[in-house]
Structure 1
Amino acid sequence: MTHLGVVFRPQLPPERLRTLARLADDTGLEELWLWEDCFLEGGISAASAALAWTERVRIGVGLLPVPLRNVAVTAMETATLHRLFPGRVMVGVGHGVQDWMGQVGARAESPLTLLREHLDALRALLSGERLTVDGRYVKLDGVALDWPPQEPVAVFAGATGPRTLRLSGEAADGTILTASTSADGVRRARRLIDEGRDTAGRSGSHQVVVYLLTATGPDAAPRLRAELAAEGVESVPDLGAAGDAGAIAKAVQRLADAGADSVVLQPTADEPDPEGFLRFAAQEVRPLVP
């Protein structure tokens, strides 16, 4: 089954989250995803509030920029969420936007090395291991969580380029793809992820989450075109979806057929009715997606 979600974009003020999280819960939406874009809203604080306000919807954080955090802090916060809300938390980590990382003095000389070290340590800590690590970026001396998750948990990695996609296959349990990923892009990502998994001898499932830029309503097409142009990807074929529930469901199905396990509808930054968009996703699009 393809999971369907919606992004709560941090262009909305934090005080809007409560209403939208509860609406996601009430309408039966499977996933609500949050972003930690600089310098808008904190991913862990927003996720903990959304989880506390709801009963069943899964909350994803996609993603936490690893240059901003010591891996022990990432592990502590992730483990706390999983113990408080078992089965309802999805946390992803990634490079972060390099310009933003530079603004706060955290830009890494080798983002790929940092992400690999962070992923390896994070997964080990969440598994209850005691670690001593002397890496290029990650340094731990006999560190273990007193309260690791009670069940195995998946760690997601955000990835776009080939090397990071292969790394995600090697060192993460799932991959988050941006809304700049077409169906063909999902297929390429799956191939690269599988190459990484083969290299590392990984088995089992590897969930792929992809955002789908989505607009509905009478001005859907021009709003979609404007956002794609603003992101510099207007020339990429088959990106985004605009129209009624049938049109959006077909776009979701194309991504699912290409290898996506979860498709997360990403409203445009100027979406005039976020609550209406969420209801549209849960009540009109969801029934059309197998």
Structure 2
Amino acid sequence: MSELFNFFIEPFQLELMRRALYAAIIIAIVCALFSCFLVLKGWSLIGDAISHAVLPGIAVAYLIGIPFIVGAFISGIFCSFATGFIKNNSRIKEDTVMGILFSGMFAIGIIMVTKIHTNIHLSHILFGNILGITQNEFIFTVVISIIISAVILLKLKDFILFCFDATQAKVVGLPVTFLHYLLLSMLSLTIVTTLQAAGIVLVIAMLISPGITAFLLTKRFELMLIIAVLVSVTASVIGTIISYHLDADTGPSIVIVQAIIFVLAYILSLILRAKKPQHA
């Protein structure tokens, strides 16, 4: 029993592991909340798109000497707003527009990063370095995550109605266009805030896996939010512990745990569906 206890406690005797765990939990909570809305709205791909589209902004920010997060945020906002504009002014479907935009912007970003000889490492952008998160980066991540989570919870009913039925939301007087772009703006801010610590791969997983997993287990949106947060936080804790004992990268370890939890949830949903009585 003591060996099992030490297995879970040993990693967090180190300051960098404790800070990494706290950062992972904060990121897990805010991304899990967003994940439910992305799944409900059918926007799962847009988190992927924005995550990749920030790369040109990071490169430009380096060139003109401004903070990376400013360039990344502007680039992410451009991608999300451009998607909406093209979709509303053409016959092209939204997922197709996102695929074109994010792949094009990501390709441009790769060329810029490799040709202008920046100190930006693609591996850090892709996989992050949550163990190397500084105190200032940690504080910034916490503050922005709290603000975004507070806005989501304060406007929860409006966001739910907008995601379920935008037409009905407009009929009852909600500012649908404002809510649309508010969600996209907060999503962009969430991604660029967590990118330094988590990397593109982990951010994408955290914006998709918890919501999909919770969607398999419940039909109530409020319960879906709770399950998504629990799944995301659990995966972050277990993934951090596993990464320590295997001497592996923390981000990919968390992603693997999330994937395993999703598979287990899928199997459980099939079992529960099979046990339901069949109506004639």
TM-score bracket for the superposition, by shorter chain length: under 0.3
TM-score (norm 2): 0.28
Q: In proportion to residue count, which structure has more strand?
A: 1
Give the number of the structure whose alpha-carbon radius of gyration is greater.
2
